[in-house]
Structure 1
């Protein structure tokens, strides 16, 4: 099951460290088979408010996503971005082929109150 690193970046400040980060990040992704699917284009907001930009990186699975984030190579360059761009980063598993949201709805109907998966 693929996993994704999703970042919502706000208050971007251009700084030489950001350029260094951008030149080095792909090298940290390659050993974990990570690839950019979205990298910061302006979004067309059709509902709500979306300040900033987004990044979406795909990995073969959650193990690779976690290993990339924890890797010494990525941790070495993380501050280059984090010191200059406010944002959030989450790692999340994708859904498999044949995913049917109706099955999710049925599972939610049968859960006891307060239980969420």
Structure 2
């Protein structure tokens, strides 16, 4: 910043909020990363395991980061045929911002996602 320059930001154009916290970003990167030479697609959703035993047998076993995404309305749970988490409209907007930022998602590693989202 130059001497004499104001340090206040313009309220007309505030910076976008951090859509995902660090745990959520790590979860998203893990789910969208290449698995055994297979490139996952955002449109396929994130597979959620089900509980095998106990009083909640058959219920989805949602990871903590997935749970916070659900609670904040950035993802939704669909149970059939197998439970999966899908991004909501707000989640897609946040994901697009995340994938556009090289600090949060390596452009080379996630090139397949960037193409799917129309970033490149």
TM-score range normalised by the length of the shorter chain: under 0.3
Bigger radius of gyration among the two: 2
Q: TM-score, normalised by structure 2?
A: 0.26
Which structure exhibits the higher relative contact order, with contacts defined as CA atoms closer than 8 Å and separated by 6 or more residues?
Answer: 1
Structure with the bigger percentage of strand: 1
Q: Which has more helix, going by share of residues?
A: 1
